[in-house]
Structures are given as C-alpha cells and as structure tokens.
Amino acid sequence: METAEKERALPRFEKLKNSFNLPVLMETKDSVKFNIYFVLRANPADTARMIDSLQRAYTPPGKRAYVE
C-alpha cells in the first residue's frame, strides 16, 4: 500500500489497522523506510480493477497504490 519513513509509517499503520479493520502488515529492512501492505488473493486479470479500488479507498491524495 505505502512506503513511508518511520514518523508517518507507525501512525498510518495503526490507523489502517484500527479504523478499517484490515489485516495490515508492515516490514522494514533498514528501520528508515517502512512498507505497509496487505495481502489480497487475485487473478492476474483482476489486478487493474483492484488497484483502482485500493487507490480510491485507502491511498492518500498524491500517492499511488501498486501491486507486487
């Protein structure tokens, strides 16, 4: 969902976890940049539709949702 520095990542993670009741996960390799994400099962053909839905529902203005 999002890559952010610690100051933004920690409150954003809590907000997503508590406000939207999502199975949100967070990881970091260097304690500077944090990846906030959740796992969704989808067929490859559905990814474009899912990205649009994620962008509208959970992604802050000016940011982009993406699939890995």
Among 13-17, 48-52, 60-64, where is mean pLDDT lowest? 60-64
Rounded to 10 degrees, the C-alpha dihedral 9/7/11/61 comes to: -70
Q: What's the pLDDT tens digit per position in 34-60? A: 998 888 777 878 878 877 877 777 777
Q: What is the pLDDT of residue 66?
A: 65
Going by C-alpha positions, the residue among 9, 14, 58 that lies closest to residue 30 is: 9
| In the chain, domain spans | 2-58
